Amino acid sequence: MKRKLFGTDGIRGRANQEPITACTALAIAQSAGIEFRRGNHRHKVVIGKDTRLSGYLLEPALTAGFISVGMDVVLLGPLPTPAVGMLARSLRADLGVMISASHNPYQDNGIKIFGPDGYKLSDEVETSIETRVINGGEDLAASLAPSERLGQAKRLDDALGRYIEFVKYTFPRHLRLDGLKIVVDCANGAAYKVAPNVLYELGAEVIPLAVEPNGFNINRNCGATSPSAMCEAVVAHGADLGIALDGDADRLILADETGRIVDGDQVMALIATSWAKQSRLARDGLVSTVMSNLGLEYHMKGLGLELIRTPVGDRYVVEHMRAEGYNIGGEQSGHIVLSDYATTGDGLIAALQVLAVIVERGERTSQVSRVFDPLPQAMRNV
């Protein structure tokens, strides 16, 4: 069947217009709840969101849908997308949901669904959920829970702290960020509290940008899709590094101490090179997309490693990583997936891996991050 709801990264559209309406969100939650209502245990779903105004519309609609099919709901509040995958596994939930349109402006929103393993759903499961939503009516009504089996909802008060500790765990314990000055642009999004706290607790001097979300300013002239403010702040403050996250913090763009952009290809090359020297690569190579620069491929070959290319979209990268056993993958745009730690792209964890190399080498960001010389590359619309 032709898919009408799910795209390459969940369900996305203009808020309060189909399919991102309260009615459809409720039906999606009911359908997803029915799909994952397996066994006789008490079922559970975790729901996170970014800072868009329309999160207040979708969160209660999804909550009502899950409760109506007998699932308990744990509300996480504003947290990065990778935190939802992590907490879905940690809390032994049956599924997780992130309300976010990632790098899109506030007028848009989306619904991303994760399975109990913390990974995004397969095409087959998404099609099953979508079919049930489209058929609607009696199909959903017949699966509603009896009144005595309705779910309950509660808020997880320490969700932020749990994720902060998890992210810090990925940074080598013998290292600290003392003496480093870091600009972090949180895009007025989901990581506006998490990111500055992680860097501060690891010892860095932190200059936070875009950490005052008001429901309307997510990704507006800030974050990974508009990193110029971050680059300017790095130079103005004499910082050692700049980190720009997107609205749900699953991707990042870095800047060195001169304000020069470091894209996802350079970040992947840096981490893969470092992990290869430490014998940490699960396979001899990494997974990226057709968009990655040819210079990255030549660099990997020079190390005796390979670059596997997939169609554009981090879900295709993750699918190949899981199928073939790779533990590093990502996109030039800044989705970096390190499966030793996370089930999806995590901008903060990727940034900490770069910082670990900077600290261990005792070199400047510009020396560490220019891993290969990119070849000329052009993108053309056809």
Q: Which residues participate in catalysis according to the annotation?
A: 102
Unique residue bearing structure tokens 């032994």: 92
Structure tokens belonging to residue 115: 């399975």
Give the number of C-alpha atoms closer than 13 A to the C-alpha of residue 314, restricted to the C-beta side: 28
Q: Compute the distance between CA of residue 330 and CA of residue 350 in angstroms, rounded to an integer.
A: 10
Pairing of strands 153-155, 72-78: parallel
Q: Compute the distance between CA of residue 249 and CA of residue 347 in angstroms, rounded to an integer.
A: 6
Residue 186: strand, helix, or coil:
coil
Q: Compute the distance between CA of residue 370 and CA of residue 331 in angstroms, rounded to an integer.
A: 17
Helices (H), the chain: 22-35, 55-68, 81-90, 123-135, 137-141, 159-169, 194-201, 228-237, 264-277, 294-302, 314-324, 347-361, 365-369
Q: Compute the distance between CA of residue 110 and CA of residue 4 in angstroms, rounded to an integer.
A: 14
Phi/psi region, residue 111 (left: phi>0; alpha: psi -120 to 50; beta: rest), is beta
Which amino acid appears at position 160 of this protein?
L
Maximum Cα interatomic distance, the chain, rounded to a whole number of Å = 64
Which amino acid appears at position 371 of this protein?
V
> Facing residues of 12 across strands?
110
Phi/psi region, residue 77 (left: phi>0; alpha: psi -120 to 50; beta: rest), is left
